[in-house]
Structure 1
Amino acid sequence: MGDPSRTIWLCRHGNRRDFVDSQWRDAGRPFDSPLSDDGFEQARVLGRSFVGDQVDHLICSPFTRCLQTANEVAGLIDKPMHVEHGVGELYFDEWFELPPKFSEAAALGRDFPRINTAYQSVIRPQFPESEDDAWRRTSHAMQSLLGAFDGNLLIVAHGGSIWGMVRSLLGVDKPDIWVGLCCRIALVQDGRGWTMTDNGLESADRSAARWV
């Protein structure tokens, strides 16, 4: 497909309930915390910051905090959500005791009606991942999404997966980015390749990034 000029926005999810409530537990899915109350507000602020931008496709991780963040954004920009496992959290065994399991898009669509249930995730991460595995996976996910979708993409993901996707686009090991909660990192493609136009800090005054 390929568009000679396009923008990719990479946004981290909002604040997690387990970050603000030490008593929160979900015995079945302790790794999959929903958003906190302020996390929902961060997501709405993020969504409002995209009103007026030309977002052609909205893609998100299958983790609840990303689905909830993307859902708030989708409602404000009136776009469907495409659930892509390839942009999900890094599957390090120190973070997960068992491989994370998720409902399929059709089931998720009952809770999040804006999900495009016809979209099939391109990548299913393997557990466990090493750091190199994670960078390869997120790079593959980014390149696959660029091939699958025309136009400008808004991707709601995690700190680690955003880091990996920026590495892939810029071809650098340590990109100068700030991946705060509900940040807005922007990269623009032209005939010469990809250029970062917002590293997350630049958008702090007009997005929810100020919440850290």
Structure 2
Amino acid sequence: MSRTIWLVRHGQRVDNVDKKWKENNPTKWDDPELTIRGKQQAHEVGKHFANMNIEAIITSPYTRCIETSCQIAAMMENKSTKICVEPGLQEPLDMSMDPPTVPTMDKIKEYSTQIDDSYKPVFEKLPAEPRGDLGCADRVVKTFQEICKKFPSGNIIIVSHGVPLANIHAFLKGHWKYVGQCTISKVTDMYGQSFRLDYWSDKKHLSQTHDLHEDEKIVPRQAPESA
């Protein structure tokens, strides 16, 4: 017996196309929204999952991931699928403001009636972590493992960012590998006994497969020696 864990990176962000967006948004430079293309990408991911039996979508709290998750959920026939917000899936802390400018739960609930505000996250507050892309590895892997325990039988979708997902790939396969925006990866979970990575960063469901930032980080960013 087994079940499927689907991994999805958020869609295209506004600062991918507007290079001055972060400069012009100094109070929330770590929380850009999706572009029109990013929303379309998420819509196409939702079409891919539309007829599948998905118990829950577990998402990073950043706006780009919330928007991606809600677009996916909106396309699914199973309207009982819940969207659960999990801080443990967010970006490395040194890539975020202090504290991160993620939206409040009240704001998040405005995006969809499928937001489950009763979900108890693995991390209510993120612990301190080393700098660099590998710094969040322990936190992300623990979050992945605990999510599997929280949803022990049903198929689930995890929506996160490039760096956390690359660290999950390292956990599953022993080496770092980045993913493209709104690509889909499939993990078969033998109910906690073992995980099998069936495919990674698939983009066949997308109408436009160029410029997905999949080669954004070939190797993980290392922490500065002075840090």
* TM-score, with structure 2 as normaliser: 0.80
Q: Which moves more between the two structures, 9-18 or 116-125?
A: 116-125
After the TM superposition, list the runs of 4 or more consecutive aligned residues in structure 1 that deviate by more than 4 angstroms. none
Number of the residue aligned with 2:117: 117
Structure 2: runs of 5 or more not aligned: 213-227
Deviation at 1:30, TM superposition (A): 1.0
Secondary structure (helix, strand or coil) at the match of 1:120 reads: coil
Number of the residue aligned with 2:13: 16
RMSD: 2.1
How far apart are the structure 2 equivalents of 1:55 and 1:178? Answer: 24
Any idea what the Cα deviations from partners look like across 1:118-153, whole Å, max 9, x if unmatched?
Answer: 112211323454345411000110111011113111
- Selected match of 1:166 from 159, 169, 173: 169
Q: Any conservation in 2 of the 1:59–1:154 contact (CA below 8 Å)?
A: yes
Q: Any conservation in 2 of the 1:188–1:196 contact (CA below 8 Å)?
A: yes
How far apart are the structure 2 equivalents of 1:10 and 1:204? Answer: 12
Number of the residue aligned with 2:66: 67
2:190 is equivalent to residue 193 of structure 1: no
* TM-score, with structure 1 as normaliser: 0.86
Number of the residue aligned with 2:145: 143
Any idea what the Cα deviations from partners look like across 1:153-199, whole Å, max 9, x if unmatched?
Answer: 1011001111122333x2x4315x45001010111123762111111
Q: Which moves more between the two structures, 32-41 or 157-166?
A: 157-166
Paired residues in the alignment total 202
Number of the residue aligned with 1:76: 75
How far apart are the structure 2 equivalents of 1:119 and 1:106? Answer: 14
Any idea what the Cα deviations from partners look like across 1:23-70, whole Å, max 9, x if unmatched?
Answer: 433232111000011111111011111122222211110000000000
Secondary structure (helix, strand or coil) at the match of 2:145 reads: helix
Any idea what the Cα deviations from partners look like across 1:5-35, whole Å, max 9, x if unmatched?
Answer: 0111110000000111124332321110000
Secondary structure (helix, strand or coil) at the match of 1:210 reads: coil
Number of the residue aligned with 2:87: 85
The residue identity in structure 2 corresponding to 1:189 is D
The residue identity in structure 1 corresponding to 2:84 is H
The residue identity in structure 2 corresponding to 1:164 is N
